[in-house]
Every structure is written in structure tokens, then in C-alpha cells.
């Protein structure tokens, strides 16, 4: 068997941190305007801020690839320390309005501490991050406001949840429409056309072979297009596993009542033409059979590697109860 080739190298002004769930990976860009791309889960905000400050001294700007809880959880704390927040225009505008659906936090039951976006990013916009210029590339699909970041001189591409070394991001057909998978596939093709030297995904390691990573991701994304029911099931499995991770598991006798109360499960059941009760039972059973979840000490736990979260860290308000947005910095 041939040894796995090493991951492509990063320039000295970029520090990469791979993190297990429930956090997204982070990228720190050094220079005159130190910047952090994505800020992890709220339960680990202190660790995120401490790591960034230890490596850069200060963080002037946080750029979010999208607004899911594992990408924006450190925003509030870093903003309190003086960082500005940048995000894709559709998400930035919704956060500024304090829309109840911000970050899909309440819908997914994933807590996000309140923050304000000071810089709305559009496709083709050039950002100075550290000492290098990066181009904003709109890549909707995983969320409507999802974006990638392209550094053409070094041919670095931050892909967010567009793809990873093991899978592609799930798509929310209930909220974003039945064509969301087609949109995600088109975004993936757009990123592949850039022919990056280095792919920087939000989950998993840096792929050793970007071309092979794109080839695999494109096949997987095409399956989401061809099999909408499969796409719904895929999203349900990912959301449920994340819920178990951030809660340290859920007591076995409370799992199905918990699922019955979730808006995402109700929507998934409707798309699959099932009752929420039937979907909850089948979801739990199939994930137990596959080993994706395990029963231990009377609680159902996610089997994937993840970092524990202190229960107190989850006690932040849903966006409908966030205070009014502060004026942009």
C-alpha cells in the first residue's frame, strides 16, 4: 500500500487549527490585520479566543463562512475583545435585523451567543486578511449565504462546509427549497474550477490531494441531487448527532420526546411523508444499528470523536431574544 501523501504546505502567515466536533476548524491569518476565519462553537469560545490571542496577539476581524453554530460560536466573545465580524450579505443583513431565524439556531436547537456583523460580504469582494488579499466567492447550498475565500497567489481555498476529506455539507431542503442540493453542487463545481493548491475545510484534515477530494465530493453532492429523500435523511442524521454531542448525550427515555419537539424533524418527516413519531423512532434505530450513536449508562451518545461541552455554555438566548444590534464598528 502506498503511503498517504503529506498535506500541502501553508505559508508562514497562516496558522491552521483542526478541531473535532462540535467546533469547526479555524484559520488564523497573521499580519497588519490579524484575522480569524470561523470561530467554533459557543461552548468553547474561551478556548478559541485564547488560542487566537496566543498566536496573533489580537484579532481584528472574524470572517464567517456561514452562520451555523459551530462556525460563529466565538463571535460574541471575540467581538467583546474588539474584533469586527464579517459574513455573507444575506446572513449579515438578517443578523442586523435580528430575524428570529438567525443562524438557524432555534430551528436546529443549537445555541449561538448574540453578535453583530459589521461587514457584509458580496461575491468578488476583495478582503485584506493579515497581509494578503482574499477574494470572496459566494457558494450557496449548505446555507444560502455560504461563502468561500480564495487566495490566488498561494492558491489557497477556504471551503467552509462545501466539502471535506470525508463528505459534503448537508442541505436543508425544507428551509432552503428542493433545489438547495442542485445549488450546492453548482457551488462545488465553481470551487473546483479554481484548481486550488490547498483546500481548507471546516471539518476534518486538509486533503492531501485537492483534485481527488473534489472528485469524491462532486459524486457525493450529485447523490444529494439525485436522491432528495436521501438528502433529508443525511441532514437528519447530522443534526441529531450534533445535538447529542453538545449535550453530552440525552437520556434514552427522553430521546424520542426531544426529537418530537424539534422543528427540523417535523419538516423532515413531512418531506419523507412520515409522522414525526415514525421518523424519530426510525432515525434512532438506524443510527444505533450503524454505530453512529451508542447507548452508554442509560444515555444515547454520538459515536464520532467530539469535545465535551459544559452545560452552562448552552444557556444563551435564541435570536428572537437577542438584544438590538449595536451600530457597526
Residue 5 confidence (pLDDT): 67
Q: What is d(CA 168, CA 237) in angstroms, rounded to the nearest whole number?
A: 14
Alpha-carbon distances, residue 39 vs 17, 22, 65, 284 (angstroms): 11, 11, 10, 30
Per DSSP, the three-state class of 156 is: strand
Extended beta strands in the chain, E state = 14-17, 26-29, 35-37, 61-63, 84-88, 119-121, 126-129, 132-138, 147-151, 156-160, 198-201, 250-251, 293-296, 299-302
Residue 3 confidence (pLDDT): 58
How do 250-251 and 119-121 pair as beta strands?
unpaired
Cell 453583530 belongs to: 116
- Among 195, 220, 66, smallest CA distance to 140 is for 66
Interior CA angle at 235 toward 230 and 237, to 5°? 95
pTM of the model: 0.96
Structural domains of the chain ordered from first start: 14-226 (3.60.15.10), 228-314 (1.10.10)
Residue 6 confidence (pLDDT): 75
Residue 165 confidence (pLDDT): 84
Residue 326 confidence (pLDDT): 72
- Spell out the per-residue pLDDT of the chain, length 329, in tens: 555 667 789 999 999 999 999 999 999 999 999 999 999 999 999 999 999 999 999 999 999 999 999 999 999 999 999 999 999 999 999 999 999 999 999 999 999 999 999 999 999 999 999 999 999 999 999 999 999 999 999 999 999 999 998 899 999 999 999 999 999 999 999 999 999 999 999 999 999 999 999 999 999 999 999 999 999 999 999 999 999 999 999 999 999 999 999 999 999 999 999 999 999 999 999 999 999 999 999 999 999 999 999 999 999 999 999 999 876 55
Alpha-carbon distances, residue 14 vs 23, 35, 39, 52, 153 (angstroms): 19, 10, 15, 12, 13
Amino acid at each position: 500500500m502506498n503511503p498517504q501523501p503529506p498535506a500541502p504546505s501553508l505559508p508562514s502567515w497562516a496558522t491552521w487549527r483542526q478541531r473535532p466536533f462540535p467546533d469547526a476548524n479555524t484559520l488564523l491569518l497573521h499580519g497588519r490585520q490579524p484575522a480569524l476565519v470561523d470561530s467554533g462553537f459557543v461552548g468553547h469560545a474561551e478556548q478559541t479566543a485564547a488560542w487566537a490571542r496566543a498566536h496573533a496577539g489580537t484579532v481584528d476581524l472574524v470572517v464567517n463562512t456561514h452562520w451555523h453554530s459551530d462556525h460563529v460560536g466565538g463571535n460574541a466573545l471575540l467581538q467583546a475583545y474588539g474584533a469586527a465580524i464579517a459574513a455573507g450579505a444575506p446572513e449579515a443583513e438578517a443578523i442586523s435585523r435580528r430575524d428570529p431565524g438567525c443562524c438557524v439556531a432555534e430551528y436546529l436547537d443549537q445555541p449561538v451567543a448574540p453578535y453583530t456583523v459589521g461587514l457584509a460580504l458580496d461575491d468578488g469582494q476583495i478582503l485584506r486578511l493579515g497581509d494578503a488579499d482574499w477574494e470572496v466567492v459566494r457558494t450557496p447550498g449548505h446555507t444560502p449565504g455560504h461563502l468561500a475565500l480564495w487566495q490566488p497567489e498561494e492558491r489557497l481555498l477556504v471551503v467552509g462546509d462545501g466539502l471535506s476529506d470525508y463528505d459534503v455539507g448537508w442541505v436543508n431542503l425544507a428551509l432552503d427549497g428542493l433545489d438547495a442540493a442542485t445549488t450546492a453542487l453548482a457551488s462545488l463545481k465553481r470551487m473546483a474550477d479554481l484548481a486550488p493548491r490547498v483546500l481548507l475545510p471546516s471539518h476534518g484534515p486538509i486533503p492531501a490531494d485537492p483534485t481527488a477530494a473534489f472528485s469524491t465530493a462532486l459524486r457525493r453532492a450529485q447523490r444529494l441531487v439525485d436522491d432528495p429523500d436521501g438528502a433529508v435523511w443525511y441532514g437528519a442524521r447530522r443534526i441529531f448527532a450534533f445535538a447529542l454531542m453538545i449535550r453530552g448525550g440525552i437520556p434514552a427515555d427522553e430521546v424520542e420526546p426531544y426529537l418530537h419537539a424539534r422543528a427540523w424533524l417535523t419538516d423532515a418527516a413531512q418531506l419523507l411523508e412520515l409522522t414525526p413519531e415514525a421518523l424519530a423512532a426510525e432515525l434512532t434505530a438506524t443510527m444505533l444499528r450503524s454505530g453512529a450513536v451508542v447507548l452508554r449508562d442509560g444515555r444515547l451518545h454520538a459515536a464520532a470523536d467530539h469535545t465535551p461541552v459544559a452545560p452552562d455554555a448552552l444557556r444563551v438566548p435564541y435570536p428572537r431574544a437577542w438584544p438590538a444590534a449595536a451600530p457597526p464598528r
